Structure 1
Amino acid sequence: HDDEVILKYKTALIVDDDMRNIFSLVAMLEDKDMEAIIAKNGQEALVALEKHPEVSIVIMDVMMPGMDGYETMRQIRKQPNHRKLPIIALTAKAMKDDRAKCIEAGANDYISKPVDNDKLISLLRVWLYR
């Protein structure tokens, strides 16, 4: 099935400070034959991107202690080689201004928590297909 080929063997960076979220996201990605790299905060995310040029999409929680997701996305976008890297923001509250804030910070798309796996998989397909 062509849809699955889009995801297969792609590497996603998951940035989240909540282990439960990380576990469920990793399980979902591995189910689609994707690789997952984990960062528990913004600083770790920036280091992970340096170390792993194979990352083809980022799933970013916006609510994290220290450097939050918005600031992390801004930092990622400052790097020329990451200007086009797709970033999907995970927001706790699906407020209209929240969406604008995510896009403004550098997210390509966003999904609210609790994450609907099918919806997230659809977003991954859309952004990895480009």
Structure 2
Amino acid sequence: MVSATDGKEALEQLHAGPVPDIVLMDMMMPEMDGYESIAKMRQDPRFANLPIIAVTAKAMMGDREKCIQAGASDYISKPVDVDQLLSLLRVWLYDRAFR
């Protein structure tokens, strides 16, 4: 597991290490938010099919669509329902394993 405090650090860590199986992306981060971070990740061919689950506390109308348009694979709102998160992880990790 790798963690980062902001989008800039997340991108640095992604480029420095092996490609992870999945990313949980907080959308409200300092310096570079999740929307910009995801968009930059998707520009790199290594991350084109990487599952990214957007996690946001700002669950407003249209947020899911905005996250998907930015390049997120899926979306979950805070407070995170652990069962829902585990279900999303199973779906996306299974899909990645059989691609």
**Normalised TM-score (structure 2):** 0.91
The aligned counterpart of 2:9 is: 44
Where has structure 1 moved over 3 Å in runs of 4 or more? none
CA–CA distance in structure 2, aligned partners of residues 74 and 123 of structure 1: 21
Q: CA deviation at 1:93?
A: 2.3
The alignment covers a number of residue pairs equal to 95
Deviates more, 1:80-89 or 1:93-102: 93-102
Q: CA deviation at 1:91?
A: 1.1
**Normalised TM-score (structure 1):** 0.70
AA aligned to 1:42 is G
Q: CA deviation at 1:54?
A: 4.1
AA aligned to 1:53 is P
Select which of 57, 75, 96 maps to 1:110.
75
CA–CA distance in structure 2, aligned partners of residues 55 and 69 of structure 1: 17
The aligned counterpart of 2:91 is: 126
* Aligned-pair identity (%): 60
The aligned counterpart of 2:60 is: 95
The aligned counterpart of 1:17 is: none
Structure 1, unaligned runs of 5 or more: 1-35
Return the index of the structure with the highest Cα Rg: 1
CA–CA distance in structure 1, aligned partners of residues 58 and 29 of structure 2: 14
Structure 2, unaligned runs of 5 or more: none
The aligned counterpart of 2:47 is: 82
AA aligned to 1:50 is H
